[in-house]
């Protein structure tokens, strides 16, 4: 019997799915939208190899913004609340899938869509009021509108602005996908708290 158990364990190890095959079979090919993980997640392919989908990091998150994704891995859902970068998820991860020493820099930044109330002549500055980093400012425009501007150098991608936006006009995107905002003036922006 011990020989059978040993053979079973060896076969089980050999049958573990390749992460690229897992992405293909789950419909998340190379062109799929990137999944937002904990700020402490190691690079995606390594993450999918190390993470076993246990709920430890999800249970440890004080903001309750880590949720079980469709593929069994934890995903960050910032429409619920902001990430406070506390590191509790990393501390409970026993497999090394969350490790700030191996994680890539957090590159997610806020972007505001065209259905923003302020852009459509309705007074709203909720996102700016909730931004602790003071990364969102408003430029006055004609017809009572104001244009929200995001300082990508100040924005830390915490998501505090997402959950409070009444029209869900704000999304987080990775820096490499955001067009240059060099033409946006910063002269009237407040200092960091």
The answer to whether residues 100 and 112 belong to one domain is no
Chain centre to alpha carbon of residue 164: 16
The whole-number pLDDT of residue 9 equals 42
Is there a domain that residue 91 lies in? yes
Q: How far apart are CA 110 and CA 82, in angstroms?
A: 12
Q: How far are the Cα atoms of 20, 82, 169 from residue 79, in angstroms, in the given order?
A: 28, 8, 11
| pLDDT per residue rounded down to tens, the chain (193 residues) | 455 445 444 444 444 444 445 545 555 455 467 889 999 999 989 999 999 999 999 999 999 999 999 889 999 999 999 999 999 999 999 999 999 999 988 999 999 999 999 988 899 999 999 999 999 999 988 877 789 999 999 999 999 999 999 999 999 999 888 865 444 444 444 444 3
Q: How far are the Cα atoms of 35, 140, 184 from residue 77, in angstroms, in the given order?
A: 10, 32, 29
Is there a domain that residue 138 lies in? yes
The answer to whether residues 128 and 165 belong to one domain is yes
Q: How far apart are CA 23 and CA 49, in angstroms?
A: 12
Task: Considering only CA atoms, give the Rg of the chain.
Answer: 21
pTM for this one?
0.73
Q: How far apart are CA 57 and CA 55, in angstroms?
A: 6
The whole-number pLDDT of residue 102 equals 92
Q: How far apart are CA 150 and CA 110, in angstroms?
A: 7
The answer to whether residues 86 and 119 belong to one domain is no
The whole-number pLDDT of residue 189 equals 45
Kindly report the CATH number assigned to the domain that includes residue 55: 3.30.70.20
The whole-number pLDDT of residue 26 equals 52
The whole-number pLDDT of residue 141 equals 85
E-strand stretches of the chain: 66-68, 74-76, 108-112, 136-140, 146-150, 170-174
For 81, other C-beta atoms within 10 Å of its C-beta total 18
Q: How far apart are CA 146 and CA 174, in angstroms?
A: 25
Q: How far apart are CA 189 and CA 182, in angstroms?
A: 15
For 69, the domain range is 34-104
């Amino acid at each position: 019997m011990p020989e059978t158990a040993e053979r079973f364990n060896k076969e089980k190890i050999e049958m573990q799915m390749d992460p690229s095959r897992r992405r293909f079979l789950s419909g998340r090919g190379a062109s799929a939208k990137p999944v937002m993980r904990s700020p402490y997640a190691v690079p995606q392919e390594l993450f999918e190899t190390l993470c076993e989908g246990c709920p430890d990091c999800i249970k440890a998150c004080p903001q309750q913004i880590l949720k079980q994704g469709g593929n069994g891995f934890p995903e960050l859902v910032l429409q619920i609340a902001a990430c406070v970068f506390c590191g509790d998820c990393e501390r409970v991860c026993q497999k090394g899938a969350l490790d700030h020493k191996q994680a890539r820099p957090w590159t997610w930044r806020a972007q505001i869509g065209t259905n923003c109330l302020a852009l459509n002549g309705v007074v709203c500055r909720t996102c700016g009021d909730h931004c602790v980093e003071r990364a969102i400012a408003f430029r006055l425009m004609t017809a009572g509108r104001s244009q929200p501007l995001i300082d990508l150098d100040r924005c830390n991608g915490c998501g505090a602005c997402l959950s409070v936006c009444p029209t869900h006009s704000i999304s987080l995107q990775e820096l490499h996908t955001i067009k240059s905002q060099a033409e946006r003036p910063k002269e009237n922006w407040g200092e960091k708290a």
